[in-house]
Amino acid sequence: MKNNIVLFALSLFITLFATSCSEDESSLASYTSLNMLDENHGKTLLGEMGVYINGSMNFRSDNWQIVDLGTSVSLPSGQIPNLDNLSNEISVLPNHRYVSCKSENVLTFPSHKNAYEIGCKYYQFVVSSFLEKETSKVGAVVEYTSSLSDEKELPQKDTNIGDLFGLDDQLSFDALGAEEYCFFGKSEDFSISLSKGHLNVALRKSPNELYGPYGKYIIYLRKGNVYTKVTFNVNL
């Protein structure tokens, strides 16, 4: 009986240990380790970004922008940090965490705050150490992962909020947690406001197929560090 209890306890310990190891390996598997040689020693590219380390020991990319989060902890998947200090070139520093966003999906709002489009891929990476040859730095060991930006308190991207047909027609839309909007159409054609999560759009001019307003329009809505876009139509 005593032997059976010991065997059972040993079996339980092995099971728990195996489960724990499995979970640890699973969490580590989401990050990929990469030896990044600088542009003078091979120019290793990071992921799909085209990010590389230049001769000044800086991360550099022409089409992606990078923000240095310092020695912060890992971000939850889908969460975008403050993007106000984005740059195409930034210093490589051990133990620092970085986030990189594709430039074409970054939008600067009227408040001058940068935001990233929901549903777009971004990269999170951390520098483990420098790579050295003799007494010179030739690159860095980087661990990276990719995620899709997300925000549950914004409308689904490309939601159509309705149609306008004539002067003083109005649309009212529940924009959930949106804090700010951006519109690139002619301000004299529309009256647009966002208050307490409610978006209101009204026509100031009668629709005109030749001179406008007419057709499909986009409004960008920001919450925190991410944004979505909704559309509306002006019909004759």
- Would you say residue 14 has pLDDT above 70? no
Handedness of CA 66, 72, 78, 84 (dihedral sign): negative
Tell me the per-residue pLDDT of 226-236, one tens digit each, with 9 for 90 and over. 999 999 999 99
The C-alpha atoms of residue 67 and residue 210 are separated, in whole angstroms, by 44
pLDDT class for 75, splitting at 50, 70, 90? confident
Q: Which of 217, 194, 219 is nearest to 207 (CA)?
A: 217
- Outline which parts of the chain fall under CATH 2.60.40.10: 159-234
Q: What's the pLDDT score for residue 11?
A: 40
Mean pLDDT of all residues in the chain? 88
Helix H or strand E encompassing 7: helix 2-29
Q: Which of 139, 148, 57 is nearest to 102 (CA)?
A: 148
Average pLDDT over residues 26-42: 82
Measured CA to CA in angstroms, residue 193 lies from 37, 51, 151, 227 at distances of 50, 39, 22, 17
């947690």: which residue's tokens? 177
| Residue 25 Rama label (left phi>0; alpha psi -120 to 50; beta) | alpha
Tell me the per-residue pLDDT of 155-171, one tens digit each, with 9 for 90 and over. 999 999 999 999 989 99
Architecture of the 159-234 domain: Sandwich (2.60)
